[in-house]
């Protein structure tokens, strides 16, 4: 079933790339994947995998069954408003935007849209990720099974209540920057480079790292997770406010 699915990515950042690599190591063919981004800066590495690229989000949606929305939280309302009229009942929309709630996503998309909120982490790049997802009100058990099937090569995939997502963002999403052994060993990259890749400016991870730098490691690790979790909640509140404007 996976091999016939058309998979789209809106956004070409590290999370999108990690998920794409995991999906391609399963049954999905590169010819059935398409990625969009406003600039060409990150598209080359997708092309190296045999994935088609475009600057049109609408093109991705119209040619896909499952669409991963892997963009920064503050642009979610803009992008979903752009693609909304092209989302049908055949689509599954999977949001990877930190802090953006299912309620906000469903408000921005057509009624009865199948929406899933997913939080992966950077070790998806080496297929050692920890991925947690929560279903929207119209997503069914078979949608969960399909997503698990798609993502199982990315690492550990679990479903849970949405209330766990922000905590997972703070612990597993941002937490790889607080101690990323295998990723550091296998990537061949300098620790500072890995840190910059996982730290979005103004995002959850950089808030957590700031807390680590302010004190001792044990207490700071706890504070780092708390700080990153709260930042995920803040991002969700800001996105929800933006969608109501």
110 is in an annotated binding site: no
| Strand-pair category, 114-119 with 92-95 | parallel
123 annotated binding-site participant = no
Per the annotation, does 44 bind a ligand?
no
119 phi and psi angles, rounded to 5 deg? -125, 105
**Helix, strand, coil distribution of the chain in percent, nearest 5:** 55, 15, 30
23 is in an annotated binding site: no
Q: How far apart are CA 25 and CA 151, in angstroms?
A: 10
Query: Is there a binding annotation on residue 51?
Result: no
Closest CA to 151 of 15, 58, 11, 13: 15
Q: For residue 134, what are the β-bridge partners?
A: 117
Is there a binding annotation on residue 116?
no
185 sits in the region (left: phi over 0; alpha: psi -120 to 50; else beta) called alpha
Nearest to 55 by CA among 6, 109, 10, 16: 10
Dist. CA 224–CA 131, nearest whole Å? 20
Contacts of 142 (CB under 8 A, 6+ apart): none
Q: Is 112 annotated as a binding residue?
A: no
Q: Is 10 annotated as a binding residue?
A: yes
Query: Binding site for NADPH: which residues?
Result: 57
Query: Binding site: which residues?
Result: 10-15, 57, 70-73
Query: Binding site for NADP(+): which residues?
Result: 10-15, 70-73
């Amino acid at each position: 079933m996976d091999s016939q699915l058309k998979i789209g990515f809106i956004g070409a950042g590290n999370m999108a790339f990690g998920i794409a690599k995991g999906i391609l190591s399963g049954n999905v063919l590169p010819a059935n994947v398409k990625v969009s981004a406003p600039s060409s800066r990150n598209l080359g590495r997708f092309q190296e995998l045999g994935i088609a690229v475009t600057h049109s989000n609408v093109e991705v949606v119209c040619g896909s069954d499952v669409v991963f929305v892997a963009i920064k939280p503050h642009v979610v309302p803009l992008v979903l408003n752009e693609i909304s009229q092209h989302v049908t009942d055949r689509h599954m929309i999977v949001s990877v935007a930190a802090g953006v709630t299912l309620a906000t996503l469903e408000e921005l998309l057509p009624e009865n849209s199948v929406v899933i909120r997913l939080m992966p982490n950077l070790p998806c790049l080496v297929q050692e990720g920890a991925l947690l997802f929560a279903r929207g009100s119209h997503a069914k058990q078979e949608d969960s099974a399909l997503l698990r099937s798609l993502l199982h090569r990315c690492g550990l995939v679990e479903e849970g209540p949405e209330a766990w997502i922000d905590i997972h963002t703070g612990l597993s999403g941002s937490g790889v920057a607080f101690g990323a052994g295998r990723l550091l060993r296998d990537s061949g990259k300098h620790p500072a480079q890995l840190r910059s890749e996982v730290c979005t400016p103004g995002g959850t991870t950089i808030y957590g790292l700031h807390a680590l730098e302010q004190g001792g490691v044990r207490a700071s690790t706890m504070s780092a997770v708390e700080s990153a979790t709260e930042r995920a909640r803040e991002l969700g509140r800001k996105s929800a406010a933006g969608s109501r404007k």
